[in-house]
Amino acid sequence: MLSDRQRGTLYIGVTSDLLNRIAQHREGVFEGFSKHYSLRRLVWYETHDLMTEAIQCERTLKHWVRDWKINLIERDNPCWNDLYEGIASWTPVPRQV
């Protein structure tokens, strides 16, 4: 989920390439809702093994009332920090054998 500020406008989307897609939102590459409302702060995300699961989750979340979405964000990210920098700089640790 993207937002412009704490408890601000929310955008829910799905992608197979989170880092690239968030970068596109931040740069305003595409016209649309997120560009119009300057939604650049990644406030919540989850990963799925299958795209069909991700799409179903997106559809479900889009039907939730706003308070439920806010509770979901604040459960994991109570200060509404931008999570993009944390995942953009994340380096996988090689598996120890």
For the chain, the 3-state helix, strand and coil shares in percent, each to the nearest 5, are: 45, 5, 50
Sheet of strand 41-42: strand arrangement: 10-11, 2-3, 41-42
In this structure, which amino acid lies at residue 28? G
Condensed to tens digits (0 to 9), the pLDDT of residues 65-77 reads 999 999 999 999 9
Q: What is the pLDDT of residues 30-71, one digit of tens each?
A: 999 999 999 999 999 999 999 999 999 999 999 999 999 999
Query: What pLDDT does 87 receive?
Result: 87
> Which one-letter amino acid corresponds to residue 71?
N
CB distance 34 to 25 below 8 Å: yes
